[in-house]
């Protein structure tokens, strides 16, 4: 076979790879390293799922009110530290993302009476009489069956005084009670979980 070139791979016995091949060969880890890595990854995944599930259950329907506000039911309430006429009270509440308090039922009425502490000085609430018709600040009508103590006046604004609903001229100077919706941290669940109501 003249003219044929034959190449031979000459290696020493016991020498598996050339130096170039040794540099590119991956280092083999013990088998238990792979098992530990897989178990660790699975453990992290399980922990992540547990944290998500437990945080959703532990705080289902969490409601928070701003500092100096008090949570009652589905609303936050605050008694002002300043005084002013009814329109100033209305504007003061609006500047805090709220509105003058509106009494919708007996529980809410009692709670707002507790906030005012049965003080002898009246506090403004979100009630206004115009042309002998009482309306709340959201333009809904007053439930006259619930509030029979109010006088039928042409013009006036609603106050709470000594835990009683009264009428005053709208230019009088009083403190006021604001209300707003709380911050909802997580959606409420149909089954109802524990509430973690608080102020921040």
Residue 190's pLDDT is what?
Answer: 41
- pLDDT tens readout for residues 49-99: 666 655 544 444 688 999 999 998 889 999 999 999 999 999 999 999 999
Residue closest to 100 by CA, chosen among 139, 145, 63, 147 = 139
The per-residue pLDDT for range 151-196, each reduced to its tens digit, is: 677 789 999 887 678 889 999 999 999 999 998 876 544 444 444 5
Q: Looking at residue 114, what is its pLDDT? A: 82
Residue 18: pLDDT band with limits 50, 70, 90: low
Give the model's pLDDT for residue 137: 94
Highest-scoring range by mean pLDDT, 38-42, 116-120, 145-149: 38-42
Q: Which of 117, 109, 115 is nearest to 165 (CA)?
A: 109
Query: pLDDT band at 24, cuts 50/70/90?
Result: low
Residue-wise pLDDT tens digits, 2-12: 667 766 555 55
What's the CATH number of domain 75-180, 2.60.40.10, 3.10.100.10, 3.40.1160.10, 3.40.50.300? 3.10.100.10
d(CA 37, CA 19): 31
pLDDT at position 160 is 84
Residue 133 scores a pLDDT above 90:
no
């Amino acid at each position: 076979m003249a003219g044929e070139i034959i190449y031979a791979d000459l290696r020493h016995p016991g020498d598996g790879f050339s130096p170039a091949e040794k540099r590119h060969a991956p280092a083999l880890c013990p088998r238990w390293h792979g098992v530990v890595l897989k178990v660790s990854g699975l453990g992290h995944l399980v922990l992540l799922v547990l944290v998500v599930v437990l945080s959703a259950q532990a705080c289902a329907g969490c409601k928070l009110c701003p500092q100096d506000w008090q949570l009652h039911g589905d609303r936050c309430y605050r008694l002002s530290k300043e005084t002013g006429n009814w329109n100033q009270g209305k504007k003061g509440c609006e500047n805090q993302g709220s509105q003058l308090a509106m009494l919708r039922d007996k529980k809410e009425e009692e709670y707002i009476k507790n906030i005012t502490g049965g003080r002898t000085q009246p506090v403004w609430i979100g009630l206004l009489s115009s042309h002998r018709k009482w309306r709340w600040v959201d333009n809904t009508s007053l439930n006259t069956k619930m509030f029979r103590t109010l006088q039928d006046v042409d013009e006036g604004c609603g106050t709470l005084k000594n835990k009683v609903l009264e009428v005053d001229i709208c230019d009088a100077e009083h403190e006021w009670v604001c209300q707003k919706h709380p911050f909802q941290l997580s959606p409420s669940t149909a089954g109802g979980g524990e509430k973690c109501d608080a102020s921040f």
